[in-house]
């Protein structure tokens, strides 16, 4: 009987150990497969081109031609009068076959909303829009964040559109808020895209470079000018990366188009995702399994001790 119990306990122990080990990769994975991403940032100027026409299909066609996997969009209208009441985020998602989230920075704007959007071929696990505090009266700005499920792991993809006025004070004040905004996702590799409305020789760029990596500086060729699209003279649209460990930039490109007053910026990046954290039910199950595993040796010891005492009494 004792031998049978020991054999059964070993089998149970093996089963529980296997179950516990199967849960661990969700907590810490050392074998996450890299993936090649196409990332785009594009200020679409509510889909109004240099010809004065609002043409959302033209914007969607540029996105499709780029083969972008994730897109950060600025100046996006939702149900506004000037663009015929179109729900631009939903329409672009339909035209490109991508998932979408929208961050409204202006409500009740021409009967609708105005802000930024993120398109993604990957599942969007969560998203949030942080409206930035302001130094003075002016257009409300924000930072739209989306946690994406990329293969076995996660990526934080973010989009912003900073103040456009000549005075840099508003943009610099916005930058002081970024640390707190990103603190909740500090463990995730992050791509920070958008129209920052400042050039590489600015104080804003200097401050951002202390914490972020300008992708153009790693693999860009030429001046990278994105504004304005007819005759570009400034680089104000950026793709910033949180580190070099998770991101390897292959190339960047500025496709030529007059579909907006900005040109899009596209980057191809080899990305190693962050391991997906364990969910609450997985953590609870792992605790139960490890508790049972720790109890098995004690149970075996007690059983052997009792069996030994019975054997001595019988002899």
pLDDT for 287 = 74
**Cβ 218 vs Cβ 247: under 8 Å:** no
Q: What is the pLDDT of residues 30-64, one digit of tens each?
A: 567 899 999 999 999 999 999 999 999 999 999 99
CA atoms of 143 and 103, how far apart (whole Å): 8
- Residue 11 CA from chain centroid, whole number: 43
Question: Residue 17: is its pLDDT beyond 90?
Answer: no
CA atoms of 237 and 200, how far apart (whole Å): 10
Q: What is the mean pLDDT of residues 259-288?
A: 82
pLDDT for 40 = 99
CA atoms of 124 and 69, how far apart (whole Å): 12
56 vs 8, residue with greater confidence = 56
The structure's pTM equals 0.81
Q: Report the run of H or E that residue 219 belongs to, with start and end.
A: helix 215-219
- φ, ψ of residue 270 to 5 degrees: the values are -90, 115
DSSP calls for 247-276: EEEEEEE-----SSSB--EEEEEEE-PEEP
For the chain, the domains span 35-275, 281-310
Q: What is the pLDDT of residues 169-193, one digit of tens each?
A: 999 999 999 999 999 999 999 999 9
Question: Residue 102: is its pLDDT beyond 50?
Answer: yes
Q: What is the pLDDT of residues 297-308, one digit of tens each?
A: 666 666 666 666
100 vs 12, residue with greater confidence = 100
pLDDT for 275 = 75
Q: In the predicted model, what is the mean pLDDT of the chain?
A: 89
Q: What is the pLDDT of residues 126-147, one digit of tens each?
A: 999 999 999 999 999 999 999 9
For the chain, give the percent of residues with pLDDT over 90: 75
For the chain, give the percent of residues with pLDDT over 70: 79
pLDDT for 260 = 98
pLDDT for 18 = 57
Pick the CATH number of 35-275 from 3.40.50.300, 3.30.70.1150, 3.60.10.10, 3.40.190.10: 3.60.10.10
Extract the tokens encoding 69: 């996997």
Question: Residue 309: is its pLDDT beyond 70?
Answer: no
CA atoms of 191 and 228, how far apart (whole Å): 24
Report strand pairing: 265-271 vs 153-161.
unpaired
């Amino acid at each position: 009987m004792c031998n049978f119990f020991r054999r059964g306990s070993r089998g149970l122990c093996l089963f529980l150990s296997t179950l516990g080990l199967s849960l661990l990769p969700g907590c810490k994975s050392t074998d996450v497969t890299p993936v090649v991403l196409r990332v785009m940032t594009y200020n679409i100027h509510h889909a109004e081109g240099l010809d004065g026409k609002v043409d959302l299909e033209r914007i969607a066609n540029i996105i499709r031609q780029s083969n972008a996997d994730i897109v950060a969009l600025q100046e996006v209208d939702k149900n506004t009068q000037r663009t015929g009441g179109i729900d631009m985020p939903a329409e672009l998602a339909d035209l490109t076959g991508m998932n979408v989230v929208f961050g409204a920075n202006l409500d009740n704007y021409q009967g609708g909303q105005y802000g930024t959007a993120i398109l993604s071929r990957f599942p969007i696990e969560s998203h949030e829009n942080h409206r930035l505090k302001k130094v003075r009266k002016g257009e409300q700005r924000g930072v739209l964040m989306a946690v994406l499920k990329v293969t076995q792991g996660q990526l934080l993809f973010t989009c912003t559109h900073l103040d456009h006025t000549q005075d840099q004070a508003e943009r610099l004040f916005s930058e002081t808020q970024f640390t707190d905004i990103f603190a909740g996702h500090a463990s995730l590799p992050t791509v920070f895209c958008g129209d920052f409305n400042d050039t590489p020789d600015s104080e804003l760029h200097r401050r951002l470079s202390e914490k972020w990596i300008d992708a153009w500086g790693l693999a860009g060729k030429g001046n990278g000018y994105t504004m304005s699209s007819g005759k570009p003279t400034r680089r104000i649209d950026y793709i910033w990366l949180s580190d070099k460990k998770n991101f390897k930039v292959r190339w960047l490109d500025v496709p030529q188009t007059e579909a907006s007053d900005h040109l899009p910026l596209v980057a191809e990046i080899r990305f190693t995702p962050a391991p997906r954290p364990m969910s609450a039910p997985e953590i609870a199950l792992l605790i139960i399994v490890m508790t049972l595993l720790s109890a098995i040796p004690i149970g075996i010891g007690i059983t052997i001790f009792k069996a030994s005492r019975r054997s001595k009494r019988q002899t």
